[in-house]
Amino acid sequence: MLTVHHLGRSQSERIVWLCEELEIPYELRRYARDPVTMLAPADYKALHPIGTAPVITDGDLVLAESGAIVDYIMAKHGKGRLALRPDDPDFAQFLYWFHFANGTLQAGMGRLMILNRLKLAEDNAMLLATRARVDRAFDLIDARVRDAEYLAGSAFTTADIMTGFSLTTMRYFQPYDLKRCPNVVKYLGRIGARAAYRRAMEKGDPGMALLLS
């Protein structure tokens, strides 16, 4: 059976959410972060050589990287749901936003988190450049969801699942004020109203406040 190894407050929430959206059978195994370091416990790190979330197992398969896991689950269980076909006029948008999630947004927020923890001077060139890059990423999303209901267009897709973590739970690690992005707040309202999202978050991180605004 497909097993989702979920590390609390991590990108593996994407995989729990995807499974709930598709309504497929899966086993959820939850792991808690070290309360001091906030890192994954040793048994989670032992699952895969890279030692980070997410990780799934499916029979003898052990697979990491959220994008790869989403593609794998969609290929086996998607049945045409939550993705756009190549002949769809919004197909390129779907691809762009699916890859934007980790290629630009999550990567930028991760770099900013590390730089902030270094306690650099406020006028540090790298810090300022990274902040500006993250602002541009949020501005681009805000403009997109001003003009479209979801990132790929009118349809909810895995692009939204990939991006949702960075806009919400990632802000526990790298705070970001969404007051400057009113359309993102409205978009997260639509995301947060989805029954599958609510189920996934309650199963994966019960009791955690959802950062939807």
For position 31, which CATH number holds?
A: 3.40.30.10
* 43 lies in the same domain as 122: no
**Cα(42)–Cα(51) distance, integer angstroms:** 9
Number of domains in the chain: 2
Q: Which residues pair with 4 in a beta bridge?
A: 28, 56
Contacts of 155 (CB under 8 A, 6+ apart): 84, 90
Residue-wise pLDDT tens digits, 187-197: 999 999 999 99
Mean pLDDT computed over every residue of the chain: 97
Please report which confidence band the pLDDT of residue 134 belongs to, taking 50, 70 and 90 as the band edges: very high
Average pLDDT over residues 133-153: 98
Phi, psi of 206 (to 5 degrees): -60, 135
Give every CB contact of residue 129 below 8 A, 6+ residues apart in sequence: none
For 5-16, the pLDDT digits (tens) are 999 999 999 999
Question: How much is the average pLDDT of 162-168?
Answer: 98
Model pLDDT, residue 119: 94
Mean pLDDT over 143-156 rounds to: 98
User: Which domain does 113 fall in, by range?
Assistant: 91-194
Give CA separation, 65 vs 54, 92, 163, in Å: 6, 22, 14
- Is the predicted pLDDT of residue 28 greater than 90, yes or no? yes
Contacts of 89 (CB under 8 A, 6+ apart): none
Same domain, 8 and 60: yes
Mean pLDDT of 57-71: 97
